Amino acid sequence: MADGIRRRDLFKVIAAGGATTAAIAACADKPEKLIPYLLPPENIEFVPGMPLDYATTCMECPANCGMVVKTREARAIKAEGNPDHPINQGALCMRGQASVQTHYNPARLQTSMQRDGETWKQIPWDAAETAFANAIKAVGNKSQIVYMTGNASGTRGGFLDKWLSAMGASPKLVLDPLGQHNIKAANQLTFRRAEIPQYRIDQATLLVNFGAEFLETWLNPVENNRLYTTMHAYDDATKRKGRFVQVGPHVALTGANADHWIKAKPGSEPLIVLALAREVLSRTHGRAVGADRDRLTSYLEPYTLERAATESGAEAEALRKLDDDFAKAEPGLALAGGNLVATTEGTQFQIAVNLLNYVAGNVGRTVLFGASRQIDLSSSHAEVEAVVKRMQAGEVKLLIVDGANPLYHLPASSQIAGALDKVPTIVSLSSAWDETTSKAHLVLPGATFLERWGDAFPQRGVYSLVQPVMATYYPDVKAAEDTLLSVSAKLGDATFKATPTYRDYLRQAWQQVQKEVGASGDFEAFWRTSLQKGGVFRTVSFSSSVRLNPDALSGKPGVAKIAGEGLVLLPTVSLRHRDGRGASNPWLQEICDPVSQVVWGSWADINPVTAKKMGIAHGDMLRVKSPMGEVELPAYLHYGVHEDAIAIPMGEGHTHSGRNADGYGINVLDLLPNAADPQSGEFAYLTTRVQVERTGKPGYLVQLDHSPRQLGRGIIQTQTVEQARAGENTEEHDPEEMKHGHPYFDFYPLREDQTPGYHHTYRWGMTIDTERCTGCSACVAACYAENNLAIVGKTRVGLGREMPWLTIERFIEGEGDSFKALMQPMLCQQCGNAGCEPVCPVYATYHNQEGLNAQIYNRCVGTRYCSNNCPYKVRRFNWFNYEWEAPLNMQLNPDVTVRSKGVMEKCTFCVQRIARARRTANGEGRDLRDGEVTPACVQTCPTKALTFGNLADPNSAVSKKAMRGRNEQDKRVRQYEVFPSLKQHPAITYLRKVTFEPINQEA
């Protein structure tokens, strides 16, 4: 029988059988329903199947970047930066990208509720408002009403003040644990300007940073990233490349970008700063300080470089070099901020930094006053603590929380839990469950910022509007401002009679804005244009002549005294969760921290030297004990932490914020004593030492990097400034390949060689400038948002089943204090001769004529050969049908198929965007223009590290950067492709990182 049947016939028989069964299966499909609109939407621009964009403002942090939210069928699906907005200029950070998931948070409050003993009782909205009004009425002494909010930007702050004064309540409290009050207080004392200045990082040639995590969360990370690369990135031989030196006890993402890390004892920074100031003063002969010279000289007399070196443990040689560079810098800039310099003498330290900038002549050049930045609207810890004391004394009868979560954000040592128990009525206007809301008595769920009206004035000349991009997702949800207005109407208060809704109030306030910006004409027209553009943006120049107030020079700052025994606890700020408000957002949990590569949970950075001494291995479960409490978390061996310290990021360890946050990691605030800086009232983060011991249990630490070293493979390549300036191409070849004495030859001819014109009109490609990439991971979040990437959870990531199409790869080079953490985005390289394509048995992946490595989900049968054959490891396999917990599924992009079990998936340069743009161009009878299509990752990059475009067009931006043409190959300097020896011919060209000192890749 076997002789009688041929192979082809066999396949025919099998195919026929398969086809018949498939047809029957298709008949059994349930017919779908076709549900029409009742009324066609009034907005003529609204077309189902087509996106509609709204300009608004991001409210995820006080930076208030401009935002454009894409909606489909009246659902917000993607947030992008507003290109017209002066602060972020089209980019967003990862938290801004993830704001749509905050909006569709499964832990959102859905209806008004009243506490019924231990459980909740759902009540009608009107009844809830009445109950709220009655609660206000019931308070005899109205000053015993306290209002805590998480956001007071723009008009909202004044509105709350007005409402509270109409009620006779205490002034509002604005909770933000990262308030930077030390800077504000120090500027008041030194320059008589109580504000956070504008730091012109882009103007500096030398940036010295003490603790400020300015590329992660500090002040305005998107703007900082942009300014930083302007200053620091090597573009071409003519442009100066600035230097960035990090001083302090810990290296996170910001520190990892530094050219040099000067390790210093925790809390010893004031000595270094003042020593630098002393040296700069003596070198420049006080040109910048004029008459204050003698006084400053005598004040700085005791702060010698030698003393700073001895007491901080920093290398004297490194300090001397830094000092030399700082004196010569034209101009330099010293930045300071963040938790690691927030000691009980944090203000004194900031005064020292002001002095250094003043002495070096940076004030007025890189430190500008007069911007009136509104990043600092929060109340200080001292103010909050005073209210907590009142609560404990039973002097608060009604507490209203609105986006504020004191139970989580205040340290346990402030006795906040006990204080909340003493408040008879707590009303929550928050939009999602959190620790404080779980203690409330009455809940009137608030709207997210994608559902409400509002505005923000992040700095002078920038008036940014917030408008609802969709109706409230749950019907029983109302913007907190509108709830307040209804309640005041219910109480018969006449203050807001003219403005029954917050939109009316906002419009009234914007009539004032119209006058301020001097826009003439009809208000309606002004209002409409402002909404369309996302606000009004004016360029204003700052007059910033400030003089030093000599009285500020009264303190004698030294090394901060840190009580207790053991290692110094460094509570760092999380890039992903900031202070913890993004923890219930599954994207932010599953996207790894770029430096540690950890997902889902906390970890403790500990120096390998210390770890060895204490017998701790990477991943061991540690017990960290302070006088205030104890926590257990896994150890992470990290060169970038001082031997005498242990660093734990904030933001995890929630208990009532929904299942994506609860139970992951620990809250480091549980370990901190309740202490504040007496001058600014800012919470003192660096105040305690902790006892660290092994528990003997293994810690559950899940990391995305499976190998921290690149082992000479040349994945992230670097070259020195001299080499780049000299035009030297430092191509690193695979050592294995070079055993033959020459690079490998191509086994297969390139498609273009085989078939001229194969890449017809378009050949999509990308360049990634590793010199500009700071590792901020905004691109990763954008990719998750655009492409419906599944969240698989901690267990499955631990099994290697993570799903990101784009990851920030991090490789460590060197050891000890001089280690380098190199980062670069890794995504499908869309290879010209891809390894994945020939091994696919069903043609589900192939090279198309536009140079894309296509992945057709409905063809894929899941053999996973392609993934096994991909040297870049960028293909992801669906081991399950992953679900989107409702209502997170509402965020899914209808333009992208949701992949099901057994299907391979990967990046295709956002082919859905290419397709849409091309259909538009086609309708206009033209080819796509350069820059018309941007994949989500390219769109959101704050530093413009990614360039996407058509490699077939020699004049496109990407072609000019990639220099792939035959006659351009010899002129390449920084360009390289990853793994050239494998001859896959990627469409992505990387540009080498340029460093001052060579980084040797260890094989």
Partner 1 sequence: MIRNAQHRTWIGLLAAAAVAVALLALATPVTAQKLTNEDVAKISAGPQPIKFSHKVHAGDNNIDCQYCHIYARRSYVSGAPPVEICAGCHKYVGTQLDEVKKVMGYWERKEPIPWVKIHDVPDFVRYPHYKHINAKNEVYPNGIKCQTCHGPIETMNVVHKYYSDFGTMGWCLKCHLTIPGTLEFKRAVASATNPHITKDSIDPNGGYRRPLLTDCLTCHY
Of the candidate spans 58-66, 319-327, 550-558, 849-857, the one that interacts with partner 1 by CB under 8 A turns out to be 849-857
Q: Site for partner 1 (CB under 8 A): how many residues?
A: 63
The answer to whether residue 685 forms part of the interface with partner 1 (CB under 8 A) is: no
Q: What track of x and - describes contact with partner 1 for positions 700 through 739 (by CB under 8 A)? A: ----------------------------------------
How far is the C-alpha of 245 from the C-alpha of 205, rounded, in Å?
A: 11
Nearest 5°: the CA angle 908, 911, 917 is 155
CB of 903 to partner 1, least distance (A): 10
- Pick between residue 492 and residue 923 the one whose CB is nearest to partner 1: 923
CB of 845 to partner 1, least distance (A): 10
Residue 971 is which amino acid?
A: K
- Pick between residue 387 and residue 938 the one whose CB is nearest to partner 1: 938
The answer to whether residue 881 forms part of the interface with partner 1 (CB under 8 A) is: no
* 3-class SS of residue 407: helix
The answer to whether residue 43 forms part of the interface with partner 1 (CB under 8 A) is: no
Q: Give strand pairing partners of 623.
A: 632, 693
Q: Which of residues 622-641 bind partner 1 (CB under 8 A)?
A: none
SS (H, E, C) 570-634: EEECECCCECCCCCCCHHHHHCCCCCCCEECCCCEEECHHHHHHHCCCCCEEEEEEECCEEEEEE
The 10 Å Cβ neighbour count of residue 10 is 10
- Pick between residue 148 and residue 790 the one whose CB is nearest to partner 1: 790
- Pick between residue 1 and residue 494 the one whose CB is nearest to partner 1: 1
Tell me the backbone φ, ψ of residue 648, rounded to 5 degrees. Answer: -130, 125
How far is the C-alpha of 221 from the C-alpha of 234, rounded, in Å?
A: 20
- Pick between residue 32 and residue 236 the one whose CB is nearest to partner 1: 32
Q: Which of residues 743-772 bind partner 1 (CB under 8 A)?
A: 755-757, 760-762
Residue that the structure tokens 């801004």 belong to: 96
The answer to whether residue 861 forms part of the interface with partner 1 (CB under 8 A) is: no
Q: Which of residues 889-928 bind partner 1 (CB under 8 A)?
A: 895-897, 908, 911-912, 915, 918-919, 921-923, 925-927
CB of 842 to partner 1, least distance (A): 11
Do residues 262 and 312 lie in contact, with contact meaning Cβ atoms separated by under 8 Å? no
- Pick between residue 30 and residue 742 the one whose CB is nearest to partner 1: 30
DSSP assigned state of 654? B
- Pick between residue 4 and residue 492 the one whose CB is nearest to partner 1: 4
Tell me the backbone φ, ψ of residue 689, rounded to 5 degrees. Answer: -105, 155
Q: Which of residues 829-848 bind partner 1 (CB under 8 A)?
A: 846, 848
Q: Give strand pairing partners of 644.
A: none
The answer to whether residue 71 forms part of the interface with partner 1 (CB under 8 A) is: no
Q: Which of residues 487-546 bind partner 1 (CB under 8 A)?
A: none
Tell me the backbone φ, ψ of residue 125, rounded to 5 degrees. Answer: -60, -45
Q: Which of 8, 36, 121, 741 binds partner 1 (CB under 8 A)?
A: 36
How far is the C-alpha of 527 from the C-alpha of 530, rounded, in Å?
A: 5
Which DSSP string do the residues of 99-141 spell out, in sequence order?
Answer: HHHHHT-TTB--S-EEEETTEEEE--HHHHHHHHHHHHHH-SS
Do residues 761 and 934 lie in contact, with contact meaning Cβ atoms separated by under 8 Å? no
Q: Which of residues 128-187 bind partner 1 (CB under 8 A)?
A: none
C-alpha distances (whole Å) from 350 to each of 228, 330, 556, 840, 861 are 21, 22, 13, 61, 61
Residue 715 is which amino acid?
A: I
- Pick between residue 35 and residue 1003 the one whose CB is nearest to partner 1: 35
Of the candidate spans 5-13, 216-224, 642-650, 744-752, the one that interacts with partner 1 by CB under 8 A turns out to be 5-13
Of the candidate spans 458-466, 590-598, 766-774, 851-859, the one that interacts with partner 1 by CB under 8 A turns out to be 851-859
Q: Which of 33, 121, 497, 740 binds partner 1 (CB under 8 A)?
A: 33
How far is the C-alpha of 653 from the C-alpha of 416, rounded, in Å?
A: 17
- Pick between residue 10 and residue 138 the one whose CB is nearest to partner 1: 10
The answer to whether residue 805 forms part of the interface with partner 1 (CB under 8 A) is: no
- Pick between residue 10 and residue 540 the one whose CB is nearest to partner 1: 10
The answer to whether residue 857 forms part of the interface with partner 1 (CB under 8 A) is: yes
Burial label for 20, CB within 10 Å (0-12, 13-18, 19+), is exposed
Q: Which of 119, 541, 858, 955 binds partner 1 (CB under 8 A)?
A: 858
Token pair belonging to 52? 């509609």
Token pair belonging to 450? 């994608």
Q: Which of 307, 490, 694, 859 binds partner 1 (CB under 8 A)?
A: 859
Of the candidate spans 121-129, 575-583, 683-691, 852-860, the one that interacts with partner 1 by CB under 8 A turns out to be 852-860
CB of 898 to partner 1, least distance (A): 8
Which DSSP string do the residues of 204-261 spell out, in sequence order?
Answer: -SEEEEES--TTTTSS-HHHHHHHHHHHH---STTS---EEEEEESB--HHHHT-SEE
Of the candidate spans 21-29, 459-467, 533-541, 560-568, the one that interacts with partner 1 by CB under 8 A turns out to be 21-29
Applying CB under 8 A, which residues contact partner 1?
Answer: 1-3, 5, 7, 10, 13-14, 16-18, 20-21, 23-24, 26-27, 29, 31-40, 47-50, 755-757, 760-762, 846, 848-850, 852, 854, 856-859, 895-897, 908, 911-912, 915, 918-919, 921-923, 925-927
